[in-house]
Structure 1
Amino acid sequence: MKPVRVLFVCLGNICRSPLAEGVLREAVNRKGLASALEVDSAGTGAWHIGDPPDRRSIEAARRHGIDISALRGRQVAAADFNDFDLILGMDDSNVRALKRLAPEGTAEKVHLFLDYASGREQDVPDPYYEGAEAFEALYQMLEAGCSSLLDRLGARTS
């Protein structure tokens, strides 16, 4: 069976989306679903192309046994809308930008992450201008959301 491909998207691809990628990838590996689900991340903006995740995201992940330090920022490309089954924006602004970029017939793949994952129409706040505690709160929010996402995708990955 073809794996389900999930793309997490935030503004710069250095804080929220790479941490979400790491959290979901770890959960997928822990559940033995690595062949059933592929995960990536990207940003709507081009400021951080090629950059590693924000050190505070790396540290938050590391505290929970996840290494995201090798990830590198990239910008969403038109091909992503065909390559991925599910494109999850971290906030309403990301979702609007993604729907503007989406080639015809692909916008239905774009969803607000927490709304799709757990039915909570809520943004994942950007912690960029915050301290370490905001990144820990981000981790906790992403972990809960990724757990709900895996539950929702269960039928598609088994």
Structure 2
Amino acid sequence: MASKKKSVLFICLGNICRSPIAEAVFLRLLNERSLKDEWEVDSAALGTWHIGHGPNNRTMKTLKKFGVTDYKHKARAVTRDDFTRYDVIFGMDDANMEELEERKPTNCSAKLKMLGEYDPKGERIIRDPYFDDERDLGGFDTVYEQCVRCCTNFLDQS
């Protein structure tokens, strides 16, 4: 009998910047380690502004810059079922975590964690680069690098 897949859901406010980067990084790590078949991975939003849209163009430019060229995603909102479907739901900052705690149903089986808890550099908050200058990818690069550190550390411990 096959064992149940492990599962993670990455959450941010709009599901077009931080959580898609985290999802793409995690999927890349799983591919590199030949573990993709053992995991279910997704990302979602707390807000509904971008539902059905792809990631921000700066997100996609950043992923491409770091060699992730096959990522596809449409923003979706977190659902009540996500709290029982996933083993771990990762938020990116304190506001995400507060909102997840408020929305958490009584039958929640997922562990709610801040992705930055796994940063070996101790950078707990993954700052939202959405409102940065449109021409500056620096904030997106920082998110990518944080996600690589955090996702690698989390996967090493799983």
Gaps of 5+ in 2: none
Alignment of 1:8-157 (within 5 A): 8-67=10-69, 70-106=72-108, 109-115=111-117, 117-118=118-119, 120=122, 122-130=124-132, 131-153=136-158
Partner amino acid for 2:46?
Answer: T
Distance 1:126 1:151 in 2: 25
SS of 1:35's equivalent in the other structure is: helix
How many residue pairs end up in the alignment? 152
Q: TM-score, normalised by structure 1?
A: 0.90
Residue 108 of structure 1: how far off its partner (Å): 5.7
Q: 8 Å contact 2:7–2:39 — kept in the other structure?
A: yes
Distance 2:84 2:71 in 1: 27
RMSD (Å) for aligned C-alpha atoms: 1.6
Q: 8 Å contact 2:84–2:107 — kept in the other structure?
A: no
Partner amino acid for 1:67?
Answer: T
Gaps of 5+ in 1: 154-158
Q: TM-score, normalised by structure 2?
A: 0.90
Distance 1:68 1:50 in 2: 18
Over 3 Å counting, the alpha-carbon distance change for 1:90 and 1:41 in structure 2 is same
Which residue number in structure 2 is paired with residue 5 of structure 1? 7
Distance 1:15 1:68 in 2: 16
